[in-house]
Amino acid sequence: MAQVPIVERLFTWPAAEPRLIGSRCASCSIVTFPTQSSCPRCASTEMGEHLLARRGRLWAWTIQHFAPPSPPYTGPTGDAFVPFGVGYVELPGELRVETRLTESDPERLAEGMEMELVVVPFRTDDAGNEVMTFAFRPVQGGRLESRPTRSEPKASEGPLS
């Protein structure tokens, strides 16, 4: 089975250590993801490619327990749907990236825990290709800075498309 990225130029891949591809403004240094051709802060068009940090800290998350509306969602639905975590990971000095999480058990997620980027299967397309997307997973042995005292979802943001 061939593997194809869900969107071209979204992350470096295949790669042992994939990176998200963002952009950085040459004028004010703001970092964006995905890439943008003009700066959202100062409107400069001097945006250069910037590979984002592979590791960050979990900032907020929720668990997607049912298939999101389609479109824009293109993943498995019905009996094939498997709950997954979605959240924001803060990349130091860069930005908070909205992302799928490999972990869907809220008891195993905690604010501030160290997360790293991975590329994972998302669905199989009509041609039989395995469509790959990015996600963040807890770093093995990563130290928890705090544990939540409740397990309710921390964010009410919509699911990833």
Q: Residue numbers of the site for Zn ion (CB under 5 A)?
A: 25, 27-28, 39, 41-42, 44
**25 vs 132 by CB, closer to Zn ion:** 25
Q: Supply the minimum distance, in Å, between the C-beta of residue 88 and Zn ion.
A: 22
Q: Which of 97, 157, 110, 119 is nearest to 138 (CA)?
A: 110
Q: What's the min distance (Å) between Cβ of 29 and Zn ion?
A: 7
Cα–Cα separations (whole angstroms), residue 1 to 26, 116, 126: 41, 26, 12
Residues counted in the chain? 161
What is the DSSP-derived secondary structure letter of residue 157? P
- Which residue lies nearer to Zn ion by CB, 43 or 51? 43
Residue number, 42 or 120, with CB nearest to Zn ion: 42
Question: Shortest approach of Zn ion to residue 23 CB, angstroms?
Answer: 10
Residue 133, strand partner residues: 120
